[in-house]
Amino acid sequence: MRQYGLSGSDVLGVEKKVSSIVRRTATAKYRDPLTGQTWSGRGRQPRWLDGKNRSEFLIK
């Protein structure tokens, strides 16, 4: 491989994939006043919000 200047992808036929997806971080919508932790509303709901009204924790 060195003699001919080949890389592993040349030999194995594997090409590096370039992602065109741009990921952006979500802005925080909710804040815990005791700890300062935030949650964007995406993904699993944090434990500090379990059984509580979300509207009380909205960031204004």
pLDDT tens-digit series, residues 28-47: 999 999 999 999 999 999 99
- The three-state secondary structure class of 21 is coil
Q: Which pLDDT band holds residue 53 (cuts at 50, 70, 90)?
A: very high
How many of the other CB atoms lie within 10 Å of CB of 25? 7
Tokens representing 31? 């804040």
Length of the chain: 60
Question: Could you tell me if 57 and 29 are in contact, meaning their C-beta atoms sit under 8 angstroms apart?
Answer: no
Residue 9 in any domain: the answer is: no
> Which residue do the tokens 């065109």 mark?
20
- Count of domains forming the chain: 1
Q: Strand locations in 1-60, DSSP E?
A: 30-31, 38-39
| Residue ranges making up the domain that contains 53 | 26-60
Residue 44 in any domain: the answer is: yes
Residue 2 in any domain: the answer is: no
- For the cut 80, the answer to whether the pLDDT of residue 18 exceeds it is no
pTM listed for this prediction: 0.60
